[in-house]
């Protein structure tokens, strides 16, 4: 019995940091409507700076002073980020904001390694809380007890701040209606900056307070951000009490999940999240969003099928691509195959995102599932390649069917967070369930049959499948199903009113996109000869998003160009520099701020300008979308 | 002149909504902006306070050009705005809603306090701690006006204050607007209801499809039933 009590208390102690970070995310989202992906990065910088300060400053004051100073320092960094980056993108679609802050996260990951090195850093113990308390033969670290008290204290302070100060009243008002607050004479800019500073302060404090408990390392940002997303989805984005309750719930599920499913404890959290989403899609303490802004959509540019001339040009491009083996060496052909595979992946996400209006932040899950599907079939069942290629993507299809069912219940940022959390769960299973998946070591030795073994044949196979998939998905855009999907994207209510079952249509689109991604993953497994948990990791999901965005979300086939340019650039970059995340992160932020329409979108815009004088005041970056009265 | 609007043009994306709107409001005057649904009344107001991004033209308030300023700066000059949809903060109590609107005293405008506003709208005084979301439409309309008055404006843009209210509340609204006028607040009120406008206004402009097509005193408008029938009646 004592053991369970101790386990319970450990869970409560873990909840404190989680609550701090989640409440910060919630507050920032509430007012600025930005889901700050970089929140995990701020948490991590908080821990690193606190580590340095507590090492340098001596004594008890040095430790606690170092923790608080670190949080303030990071809040200051947050203020700079808000003023330099975020102020430029408040009016951009939410997807762009998520991506910009993700770009920031990538840069921070490389920067902390540059500054603090790649090794885990073990910090000082907290003065006054070094020991442990004996509880019926079990030890409870006294620092845990400190954290258990701290959580509710911070909750209380935040509550007072929001209920009893003018600043708090303004923040709550702005959470509901930013424009109205401005129309009453409040300067939104400073309100946003101060809110961002408070949110970042909380994240950094959460990170700083972890140093006596855990080693500081350069991957702690992704771990916390996924947990935080789960917390805010369960608790309800924008609710501080919700963040607290959900943080405790998730931490306890983790603490006890280890006892029930020692290998795959994260399943328990997933099950609870699924139940909450079915019963209350907006979280335990959240409120249904008023009609969310459309996810993509900077301008209205009607889509049309290709003209016959354009079809001929596409065909010619394909023929040119197919002639690559005539003059390219093996390395270039492998790169070519990889690019073709990523075209499949990007096109599948593009279908979901641009046509369906559902921006998935965890699309790699289905790509990776396709790859693992191949690995299971080929290694365990020993099936031949052609059978594997036909059946392997079914795993991606099944994953998309299960997760998609829950995900399409939500929209906008909730959808993005949920898909990310699902992908991370699949990743954890692949990583932790070593008996089946080989864990970190992956599954090796997957080789194509002889008919596809040579680089040029594999290249033709990849290219052929990529062309087929692109044509099929394009045809679908202009089919009745595509019309229904686009209607659902543009107005859920109106399409339901004319008899379209919106959720079923979106679910179908999700499954189609997931299966297609699975086809890409299946080819990828054969290309690399192995599968690893990274094949379904977050960074791969984001690669896909960047490819779509780079090509242009609003175009019908921008993803093809985006995938080719991005993948080529990426492969080249990795071969040139060790700091590829830093460069890539900067690149992502640049696209979002300067070229929100992507390559194809920008070309289309230029072409249109040539045709007719540009419409009055149509700027590159969208102005807030207003409804005409 | 308190407020002068010249050559105001506004767009929503590709749609051109307002065409060369121009009108004036004198010190302490109540001016009605009349027009049917969709004529452009609300867009005119939203453009004046800078809530429509794509706008051009010249807006002069108390001699200062405010046409390129951001919304909050325009409002802080003393130009209050009461939106048609009321836009009460539903999670906030009556007192908290008023707090959001609070701005410092202004030398050339009447100073409003909570007490004074609760005297003007007695209903609000009885529900100080009620969340905005649990109030009736009439109560919300009073609160949205009171909230704007907390900013001590010298001119208020009132967007369809009588819309959807019961006759009894409309009467209260007329009294409140006349009190505001007596205190020295200049008012521009947009209306579809000519009867309501006549009770409070000195002058009127008629807007139709984004263009001003009449401007004059209420007596002049009454002398031209043809205009009234062409642009206002249903």
Strands B155-159 and B79-82: parallel
DSSP codes joined into one string, A192-207: HHHHHHHHHHHHHHHH
Please tell me the distance from the alpha carbon of residue A294 to that of residue A317, in angstroms, as a whole number.
34
Mean pLDDT of chain A: 86
Q: Which two tokens stand for residue A592?
A: 């979002």
The DSSP annotation for A503-554 comes to: HHHHHHHHHHHHHHHHHHHHHHHHHHTEE-GGGGSHHHHHHHHHHHHHH-TT
Residue among B15, B87, B99 minimizing CB distance to A180:
B87
Question: pLDDT value at position A51?
Answer: 94
* pTM higher than the cut 0.90: no
How confident is the model at residue B134, as a pLDDT? 92
Secondary structure class of A411 (helix, strand, coil)? coil
If you count them, how many residues does chain B have? Answer: 234
CB atoms A182 and B75 under 8 Å: yes
For residue B228, give both structure tokens: 């009234």
| Cα A391 off chain centre by | 28
- Number of neighbours of residue A59 by Cβ within 10 angstroms: 9
Cβ-nearest to A169 among B43, B87, B100: B100
| ipTM, interface predicted TM-score of the complex | 0.92
Name which residue leads in pLDDT, A134 or A203. A203
| Alpha-carbon distance B181 to nearest alpha carbon in chain A (angstroms) | 20
The pLDDT tens digits for A521-576 are 999 999 998 899 988 888 899 889 888 888 877 777 788 888 898 888 888 888 88
Domain count, chain B: 1
HSE-up of residue A78 (Cα within 13 Å, Cβ side): 34
Whether residue A44 contacts residue A178, with contact meaning beta carbons closer than 8 Å, is answered with no
Residues A626, A89: Cα–Cα separation, whole Å: 16
- Give the C-alpha separation, A461 to A454, whole Å: 11
Question: With DSSP H G I counted as helix, E B as strand and the rest as coil, what are the percentages for chain A, rounded to 5?
Answer: 75, 0, 25
Cβ atoms of A350 and A513 within 8 Å: the answer is no
**Beta bridge pairs of residue A214:** none
> pLDDT of A516-534, one tens digit each?
999 999 999 999 988 999 8
Q: With bands split at pLDDT 50, 70 and 90, how would you rate the model's confidence at A621? A: very low
Contact flag B100-A616 (C-beta cutoff 8 Å): no
Q: Are B89 and B97 in contact (CB under 8 A)?
A: yes
**Which has the closest alpha carbon to B150: A173, A53, A62, A507?**
A173
Distance from B55 to chain A by nearest Cα, in Å?
A: 9
pLDDT at A293: 45
Q: Is A264 helix (H, G, I), strand (E, B) or coil?
A: coil
Cα distances (Å, whole numbers) of residue A482 to A2, A161, A308: 59, 49, 21
Cβ-nearest to B51 among A183, A299, A616: A183
Does residue A626 carry a pLDDT above 60?
Answer: no
Residues in A touching B48 (Cβ below 8 Å): none
CB of A509 within 8 A of CB of A375?
A: no
CATH code of B227's domain: 3.40.50.300
Contacts 24+ apart (CB under 8 A), A272-280: A272/A234, A273/A230, A273/A233, A273/A234, A273/A421, A274/A406, A276/A233, A276/A234, A277/A233, A277/A406, A277/A409, A277/A410, A277/A418, A278/A406, A278/A409, A280/A236
Which residues in chain B have Cβ-Cβ distances shorter than 8 Å to A618?
13-14
Q: How far is B53 from chain A (nearest CA, A)?
A: 7
Asked if A547 contacts A371 with a C-beta cutoff of 8 angstroms, the reply is no
- Give the C-alpha distances (Å, rounded to integers) separating B50 from A361, B56, B84: 35, 10, 16
Tokens at residue A345, please? Answer: 């992946």
The fraction of chain A above a pLDDT of 90, given in percent, is 39
Element (H, E) at A386: helix A385-391
Report the alpha-carbon distance of residue A112 to residue A121 in Å, rounded. 12
Tell me the mean pLDDT in the region A479-507.
90
- A445 touches B: beta carbon within 8 Å: no
At B29, list the tokens: 């005057």
Q: Which residues of B touch A182 (CB under 8 A)?
A: 51, 70-72, 75
Please determine, for residue A595, whether its predicted confidence score (pLDDT) is greater than 80.
no
Please give the C-alpha separations between residue A51 and each of A44, A116, A483, B61, in angstroms, as whole numbers. 11, 10, 55, 55
What token pair was written down for B146?
């009171």
Interface membership of A382 toward B (CB under 8 Å)? no
Q: A450: which strand partners?
A: none
Q: What is the pLDDT of residues A256-282, one digit of tens each?
A: 888 877 766 667 777 788 788 778 878
Three-state helix/strand/coil letters over A465-512:
HHHHHHHHHHHHHCCHHHHHHHHHHHCHHHHHHCCCCHHHHHHHHHHH
Q: CA distances (Å), A530 to each of A523, A533, A605, in order?
A: 11, 10, 42
The pLDDT of residue A629 is above 50: no
CA distance B212 to chain A (A): 17
Q: pLDDT (tens digit, 9 = 90+) per residue, A372-407?
A: 999 899 888 888 888 888 888 999 999 999 999 988
CA distances, A526 to each of A346, A365, A436, A514 (Å): 19, 17, 19, 19
Token match 């019963």: residue?
A279
Could you read off the pLDDT of B189-229 as tens digits, one per residue?
999 888 889 999 999 999 999 999 999 998 898 888 888 88
> A164 at the B interface (CB within 8 A)?
no
Structure-token pair, residue A101: 């802050």
Nearest beta carbon to residue A170 from set B52, B90, B100 = B100
- Average pLDDT on A406-423 reads 83
Q: Is A117 left (phi over 0), alpha (psi -120 to 50) or beta?
A: left
DSSP A66-134: HHHHHHHHHHHHHHHHHHHTGGGTTTS-HHHHHHHHHHHHHHHHHHHHHHH-SS-B--PPPTT--SEEE
- Measured in whole angstroms, the distance separating CA B53 from the mean position of its chain's CA atoms is 19
φ, ψ for residue A91 (rounded to 5)? -95, 0
What's the whole-number mean pLDDT along residues A164-192?
Answer: 92
Is A173 part of the contact surface with chain B (CB cutoff 8 Å)? yes
User: What range does the domain containing B114 cover?
Assistant: 3-231
Q: Which residues of B125-145 are buried (b: 16+ CB within 10 A; e: fewer)?
A: eebeeebbeebeebbbbbbbb
Cβ atoms < 10 Å from Cβ of A414? 24
In a mutational test of the B interface, the residue from A164, A184, A191 whose CB has the highest number of chain B CBs within 10 Å is: A184
Structure tokens at A97: 């904001």
DSSP tag of B22: E
Q: What is residue A624's predicted lDDT score, i.e. its pLDDT? A: 39
pLDDT at A205: 96
């Amino acid at each position: 019995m004592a053991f369970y009590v101790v386990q319970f208390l450990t869970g409560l102690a873990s909840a404190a940091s989680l609550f701090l970070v989640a409440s910060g995310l919630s507050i920032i989202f509430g007012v600025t409507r930005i889901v700050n992906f970089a929140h995990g990065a701020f948490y991590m910088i908080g821990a690193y700076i606190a580590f340095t300060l507590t090492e340098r400053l001596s004594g008890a004051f040095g430790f606690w002073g170092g923790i608080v100073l670190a949080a303030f320092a990071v809040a200051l960094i947050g203020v700079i980020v808000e003023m330099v980056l975020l102020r430029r993108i408040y009016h951009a679609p939410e997807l762009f904001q998520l991506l910009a802050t993700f770009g920031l996260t990538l840069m921070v990951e490389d920067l902390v390694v540059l500054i603090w090195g790649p090794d885990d850093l073990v910090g000082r113990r907290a003065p006054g809380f070094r020991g442990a308390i004996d509880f019926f033969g079990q030890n409870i670290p006294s620092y845990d007890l400190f954290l258990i008290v701290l959580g509710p204290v911070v909750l209380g302070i935040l509550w007072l701040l929001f209920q009893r100060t003018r600043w708090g009243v303004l923040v709550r008002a702005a959470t509901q209606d930013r424009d109205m607050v401005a129309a009453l004479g409040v300067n939104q800019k400073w309100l946003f900056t101060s809110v961002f500073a408070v949110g970042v302060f909380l994240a950094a404090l959460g990170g700083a307070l972890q140093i006596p408990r855990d080693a500081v390392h350069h991957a702690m940002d992704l771990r916390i951000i996924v947990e935080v997303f789960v917390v805010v989805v369960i608790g309800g984005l924008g609710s501080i009490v919700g963040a607290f309750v959900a943080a405790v719930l998730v931490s306890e599920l983790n603490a006890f999940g280890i006892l029930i499913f020692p290998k795959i404890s994260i399943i328990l959290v997933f099950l609870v999240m699924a139940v909450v989403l079915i019963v209350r899609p907006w979280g335990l303490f959240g409120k249904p969003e008023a009609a969310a802004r459309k996810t993509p959509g900077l301008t209205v540019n009607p889509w049309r099928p290709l003209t016959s001339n354009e079809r001929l040009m596409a065909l010619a491009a394909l023929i040119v691509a197919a002639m690559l083996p005539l003059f390219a060496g093996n390395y270039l052909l492998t790169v070519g195959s990889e690019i073709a595979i990523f075209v499949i992946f990007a096109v599948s996400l593009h279908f979901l995102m641009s046509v369906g209006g559902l921006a998935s932040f965890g699309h790699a899950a289905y790509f990776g599932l396709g790859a693992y599907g191949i690995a299971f079939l080929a290694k365990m069942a020993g099936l031949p390649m052609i059978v594997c290629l036909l059946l392997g993507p079914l795993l991606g299809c099944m994953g998309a069917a299960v997760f998609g069912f829950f995900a399409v219940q939500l929209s906008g940022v909730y959808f993005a967070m949920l898909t990310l959390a699902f992908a991370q769960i699949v990743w954890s299973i692949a990583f932790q369930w070593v008996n089946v998946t080989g864990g970190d070591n992956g599954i090796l030795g997957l080789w194509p049959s002889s008919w596809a073994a040579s680089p040029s044949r594999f290249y033709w196979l990849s290219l052929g499948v990529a062309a087929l998939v692109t044509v099929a998905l394009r045809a679908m855009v202009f089919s009745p199903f595509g019309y229904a999907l686009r209607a659902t994207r543009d107005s859920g209510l109106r399409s339901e009113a004319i008899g379209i079952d919106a959720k079923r249509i979106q679910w179908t689109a999700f499954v189609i996109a997931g299966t297609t991604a699975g086809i890409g993953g299946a080819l990828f497994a054969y290309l690399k000869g192995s599968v690893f948990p990274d094949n379904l990791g977050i960074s791969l999901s984001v690669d896909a998003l960047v490819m779509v965005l780079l090509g242009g979300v609003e175009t019908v086939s921008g993803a093809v160009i985006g995938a080719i340019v991005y993948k080529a650039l990426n492969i080249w970059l990795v071969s040139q520099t060790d700091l590829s995340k830093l460069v890539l992160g900067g690149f992502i932020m640049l696209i979002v701020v300067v070229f929100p329409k992507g390559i194809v979108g920008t070309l289309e815009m230029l072409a249109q300008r040539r045709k007719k004088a540009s419409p009055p005041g149509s700027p590159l970056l969208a102005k807030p979308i207003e409804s005409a009265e | 002149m308190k407020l002068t609007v010249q050559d105001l043009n506004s767009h929503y994306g590709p749609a051109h909504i307002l065409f060369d709107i121009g009108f004036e409001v004198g010190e302490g005057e109540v001016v009605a902006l009349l027009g049917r649904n969709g004529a452009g009344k609300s867009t005119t107001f939203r453009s004046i306070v800078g809530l429509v991004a794509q706008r051009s033209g010249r807006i002069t308030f108390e001699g200062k050009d405010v046409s390129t300023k951001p919304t909050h700066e325009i409002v802080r000059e003393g130009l209050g705005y009461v939106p048609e949809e009321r836009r009460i903060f539903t999670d906030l109590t009556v007192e908290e809603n008023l707090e959001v609107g609070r701005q410092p005293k202004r030398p050339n405008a009447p100073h409003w306090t909570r007490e004074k506003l609760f005297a003007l709208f007695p209903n609000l005084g009885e529900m100080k701690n009620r969340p905005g979301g649990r109030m009736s439409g009439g109560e919300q309309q009073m609160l949205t006006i009171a909230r704007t008055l907390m900013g001590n404006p010298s001119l208020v843009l009132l967007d369809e204050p009588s819309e959807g209210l019961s006759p009894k509340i409309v009467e209260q609204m007329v009294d409140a607007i006349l009190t505001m006028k007596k205190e020295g607040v200049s008012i521009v009120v947009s209306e579809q209801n000519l009867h309501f406008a006549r009770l409070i206004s000195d002058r009127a402009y008629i807007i139709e499809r984004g263009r001003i097509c009449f401007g004059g005193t209420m007596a002049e408008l009454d002398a031209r039933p043809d205009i009234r029938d062409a642009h206002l009646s249903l």
